[in-house]
């Protein structure tokens, strides 16, 4: 599992730093923003925000602390800045 996570982070870093990074970054963010909110199996109870593609808005969910995905933001503003502006209406 750690190997996959490392590979995903490495691919993301390459996309963000490569020539044409603006288009690649938008594509990566779009892919993150369409993911579902995932609580994960851990037992923490952290309020987080995810971008909901059906309402084009950021909504709260409870994150357990592990095994989520990239559609998991600490604040509404962070969520909307990354996803609301990328997906738009």
Q: What angle do CA 77, 48, 36 make, to 5 degrees?
A: 100
* Per-residue pLDDT reduced to its tens digit, 66-77: 999 999 999 999
d(CA 14, CA 7): 11
Give the confidence band of 25 by pLDDT, cuts at 50, 70, 90.
low
Average pLDDT over residues 5-21: 50
Q: Is the pLDDT of residue 81 over 90?
A: yes
The CA-based angle 9-79-81, given to 5 degrees, is 100
Q: What is the mean pLDDT of the chain?
A: 80
pTM: predicted TM-score of the whole model, two decimal places: 0.68
* Residue 1 in this model has a pLDDT that exceeds 60: no
* Residue 37 DSSP label: P
CATH 4.10.410.10 fits 27-88, yes or no: yes
3-state secondary structure of 42: coil
Boundaries of every domain in the chain = 27-88
pLDDT, position 89 = 58
Instruction: Give pLDDT tens digits for 32-66.
Output: 999 999 999 999 999 999 999 999 999 999 999 99
13: Cα separation from own chain's centroid:
14
């Amino acid at each position: 599992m750690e190997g996959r996570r490392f590979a995903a982070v490495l691919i993301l870093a390459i996309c963000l730093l490569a020539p044409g990074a603006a288009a690649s970054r938008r594509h990566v963010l779009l892919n993150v923003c369409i993911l579902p909110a995932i609580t994960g199996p851990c037992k923490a109870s952290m309020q987080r925000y995810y971008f909901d593609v059906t309402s084009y808005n950021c909504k709260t969910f409870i994150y357990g602390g592990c095994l989520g995905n990239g559609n998991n933001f600490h604040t509404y503003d962070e969520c909307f800045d990354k996803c609301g502006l990328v997906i738009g209406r």
